[in-house]
Structure 1
Amino acid sequence: MDSSPAHGSVLDPQRVQRRTVWVLSTAQLLSGVGSGASLSVGSLLAVQLSGSNAWAGAVTTTMTLGAAAAALPLAGLAGRRGRRGSLVTGLLAAMAGALLVIVSTVTGSFPVLLLAAALLGLGTAANLQARFAAVDLAAPERRGRALAIVVWAVTIGAVAGPNLIRPGALVGRALGLPELAGPFVFSTAGLALAALLLLIGLRPDPLLLAARLRSESQPTPTAAARRRNSLRHGLDAIRASPRARLALLAIISAHGCMAAVMSMTPLHLQLLTEGPLTGMPAGHAHAASTDVLVLIGFTISLHIAGMYALSPVMGWLTDKTGRLPVILLGHGLILLSVLVAGFGQAEPVLVAVGLVLLGLGWSAATIAGSTLLAESVHAGDRVLVQGVSDTMMGAAGAVGAGFSGLVMSGVGYQGLNLAAAAVAAVVFTVGSLAAMRARRLTAP
């Protein structure tokens, strides 16, 4: 249970909110190393341990499935015990996953790698839930910025993660580990420190404090309201609000497009610079050159920087211009990004530019969509709806990453990007129609 101040003491919610955002942001920074390393090295490890390019997206797919499967249980745990217990549980599971990645590279076991990826997915679910924890106590006019600051905080760790390939190789050799296992030594340490910080610093728990403040100002909820803890009820709450439906569509489509293109980019760059893997027996490793690994790490770092570095700007725009315009901006950027990367597939520079734009589009759509979703449902349904959103977001990422290998095998990297462009164009059209309807309703 959450440790609370002595009875009768007075808490300033905004002071707690400022401390909460600081603690969440620092934890995101530390845990971001794990996700950055996984994104850049995961597809290479999957090919190396499985012996087939067809499994290149397996790590990303398994991570996103793990995140999707964990989202609702972690949301339920947050509803019962508060944000701290939920977030710490997810990060400790991810730390175990990072350790198992190291085990998989030492033993050459592809199934162990997939198990590790599933556990790392729990860390992804916890990091996604942290953005909602930032708005539990936030004033309505500052929700977008509070959420964006926590999203932004992952920048340093996540951008550093892919660039730890070379230092990780040195650490790996020093510890007698395979070179690709080295970055996950850093991931393990970062996740452990993040979990410890949340365990100590996230007091009082923002969700429990917000619920207590609501209970003091509102009547006691009915028994029916207290039973609002099912997936079906969460979906019903979203369906009942057109704004929540649009927010959810924006979030899951942006994440699906991003996961599909991003998960295949490391393999595309390797094939572009070194050619296809031919004559490689199943189960035998094909080690990419150090220069290619650096190119891949740098490109994915730029993509992650696009996802997180300008998050405060996206949050400010969300609060100042409205949620829907920023959602449209995000999907417009995604559409532009996949066209640049697809038609510029032969040039690593254009691929990198496309990945940066893809990250910026994801940032805008996710921050504005998450803010809109949080305020479009009843406060009593909010945690459950957030869990449903993260579950569907993870599922969309898993579908995108899972089918991306098949799509790329069939129609190439350009075809994969054009498929993502079609999805972004549909969502942009739906959002534009909603914006026009909103303007007609508010016109004098």
Structure 2
Amino acid sequence: MTSTASPSTTGIRAAAQRRTLTVLVVSQILSGAGLAAGITVGALLAQDMLGATGLAGLPSALFTAGSAVAAITVGRVSQTHGRRPGLAAGYATGALGSAGVITAAVLDSPALLFAALFVYGAGSATNLQARYAGADLAPPTHRARAISTVLVATTLGGVVGPNLAAPTGDLAATLGIPRLAGPFLLSGAAYACGALVLALWLRPDPLRLARTLDTAQPAAATGAVQEAAAPQGLRGGAVLGALVMVVSQLVMVAIMTMTPVHMHDHGHGTAASGLVIAIHVGSMYLPSPLTGRLVDAYGRPAVAVASGLTLLVAGVVAATAPADSVALLALALALLGLGWNLGLVSGTAIITDTVSLANRARTQGTVDVAIAVAGATGGLASGVVVDLAGYPVLALTGGVLALAVLPAVAVTAHGR
């Protein structure tokens, strides 16, 4: 079907999309460093302050729970005022949470630490919400690739962040701050800079411009775009998209959270766990361009199935890897990140395909709440499972849970 959109409208949309992606790439590089640095030592900081492993998963649960609240807030602000104020406010809140974590470490206050980690979760939610902004102005047939461009930008910061855990710890020590709180110095600065970039340069606002251009198109053109945005077999499949992302997040967070603790308990230092998490975060985002092309070329369901299978393999490798093998743990975490990436890009494309512009930001925020709740559940349960049954049981259970994606895809396919 040939689009009837005017050449001028198409040119405006294309130019604005290029600028949007450029600004989002810069902000995502910054926020990736902030996100990954905190992940690396969050569980270790709690373990050090509490003196127990059973609650080491609580930091992950708290900042993912905080991300649930932030996701719906950022979604509603974006729905009403546009992506720019929603995303900028989210990153600024993440920076505030980072400052709170540092203060809690200095005061040795677990209560303040937990409250600050909850606020810190806003950075994680915003980092994920930014992928939707990349798709607002993208043509339906290139939507997954636009999403993947935003995601891959997180890679640089995400890989650099964990590897700065030791140097930022040294910096913190010279400032009289507990060494494990050092990475949160980086997180706070990175999130604050990300907020500033978006507030100053994300103009025109992609969601508001997309609505304006959509309204300006003739009815026939609007119908053509909506038809293209909902591939055959996926109309009404928003539940599938949400489920794919929820399962991917649950499994990924649970295994990722306890891997640094598992390594620490077997004699590995912060540098080794930082390297493994860096490889993991890189695998979460670096494959995004290829994933986007696969999703656009072979369909959303096929890549969703690949996600479930990859997460299963990751769980098996993590469960069977010798505790002294950094290489095998790194491989397991790389597969874990890849499985999450396949699920996130395919699930996001399904959601964006099936929701109209009029309700898009609000719905996306609601979906990301479910994702955050899944992450909080995985993070909280992970410490308990490891405390009671061990890390291999946690990893294997997570891998098996990932297979829930397969029947969901099958049921959706047969229901269309």
Q: How far apart are residue 298 of structure 1 and its match?
A: 0.6
Is 1:407 the counterpart of 2:385? The answer is: yes
* Structure 2 match to 1:147: 147
2:284 matched to which residue of 1?
307
Task: Confirm or deny that 1:294 pairs with 2:271.
Answer: yes
How far has the Cα of 1:241 moved from its partner? 5.4
Aligned to 2:226: none
Alpha-carbon separation, structure 2, partners of 1:242 and 1:209: 25
Structure 1 residue 218 displacement after superposition: 6.3
Q: 1:261 aligns with which of 255, 258, 264?
A: 255
Amino acid at match of 2:283: G
Which position in structure 2 is the counterpart of 1:3?
none
For 1:247, the equivalent position in structure 2 comes to 241
Instruction: Indicate if the aligned counterparts of 1:345 and 1:414 stay in contact, CA closer than 8 A.
Output: no
AA partner of residue 81 (structure 2): R
SS at 1:177's partner residue?
A: coil
Q: What do the CA deviations read for 1:296-319 (whole angstroms, capped 9, x no partner)?
A: 101111110110111111111111
Q: Does 1:430 align with 2:408?
A: yes
| Structure 2 match to 1:284 | none
Q: How many Å separate the matches in 2 of 1:9 and 1:325?
A: 33
Aligned equivalent of 1:388: 366
Residue in 1 that maps onto 2:81: 81
Bigger CA drift: 87-96 or 69-78? 69-78
Q: CA deviation at 1:422?
A: 2.1
- Give the corresponding residue for 1:367: 345
Matched, 1:324 2:301: yes
Q: Which runs of 4+ in 1 moved over 4 A?
A: 8-11, 432-435
Q: How many residues get paired?
A: 394
Write the deviation string for residues 262-301 of structure 1: whole angstroms up to 9, x where unpaired.
111111111122xxxxxxxxxxxxxxxxx61111101111
SS at match of 2:135: coil
Contact between 1:241 and 1:377, CA under 8 Å: does it hold in 2?
no
CA distance in 2 between counterparts of 1:180 and 1:321 reads: 44
Q: Which runs of 5+ in 1 are unaligned?
A: 1-7, 220-239, 274-290
Structure 1, residues 157-204: CA drift from partner, whole Å, max 9, x if none?
A: 111111111211221133232222222222222112111110111011
Paired-residue identity, %: 36
Matches for 1:102-141 after TM superposition, within 5 Å: 102-141=102-141
Out of 319, 328, 344, the residue aligned to residue 342 of structure 1 is: 319
Which amino acid in 1 is paired with 2:300? R
Paired with 1:172 and 1:214, the residues of 2 have a C-alpha distance of: 50
CA contact (8 A) 2:211 2:357 kept: no
Secondary structure of 1:204's match? Answer: coil
* Matched-pair contact (CA < 8 Å) for 1:165–1:293: yes
Instruction: Give the drift of 1:261.
Output: 0.6
- Residue-by-residue CA offset, 1:85-129 (whole Å, 9 max, x unaligned): 001111111111111111111111111111221111111111111
* Correspondence 1:59 to 2:59: yes
Matched residue SS, 1:397? helix
Q: Which shifted more, 172-181 or 147-156?
A: 172-181
* CA deviation map 1:42-88 (0-9, x unaligned): 00001111221111011110010001112112111111111010011
Provide the C-alpha distance between the structure 1 equivalents of 2:412 and 2:328, rounded to a whole number of angstroms.
33
What's 1:232 paired with?
Answer: none
Q: TM-score, normalised by structure 1?
A: 0.85
Contact 1:63 1:121 in 2 (8 A): yes
Q: Is the 8 A contact 2:54 2:386 kept in 1?
A: no
The root-mean-square deviation of aligned C-alpha atoms, in Å, is: 1.9
SS at match of 1:52: coil
* TM-score normalized by the length of structure 2: 0.91
- Gap regions ≥5 residues in structure 2: 1-7, 220-233
Which residue number corresponds to residue 40 of structure 1? 40
Does the Cα contact within 8 Å between 1:328 and 1:432 map onto a contact in 2? Answer: no
Deviation at 1:349, TM superposition (A): 2.3
Query: How far apart, in 2, do the equivalents of 1:362 and 1:73 lie?
Result: 24
The answer to whether the 8 A contact 1:345-1:413 is kept is no
Following TM superposition, by how much is the alpha carbon of 1:242 offset from its aligned partner in structure 2, in angstroms? 4.4
For the residue of structure 2 that corresponds to 1:54, the secondary structure is coil
Question: Distance in 2 between the 1:241 and 1:68 partners?
Answer: 26
Q: Which amino acid aligns with 1:207?
A: L
Q: Which amino acid aligns with 1:19?
A: R
1:188 aligns with 2:188: yes
Describe the superposition over 1:242-268 as per-residue Cα deviations: whole angstroms up to 9, x where unpaired. 421111110100000001111111111
In the aligned structure 2, how far is the partner of 1:410 from the partner of 1:179? Answer: 29
Residue 22 of structure 1, CA deviation: 0.8
Query: What's the secondary structure of 2:164's corresponding residue?
Result: helix
- Does structure 1 residue 23 correspond to structure 2 residue 23? yes
Return 363-372 or 344-353, whichever deviates more.
344-353
Cα offset, 1:217, TM superposition: 2.8
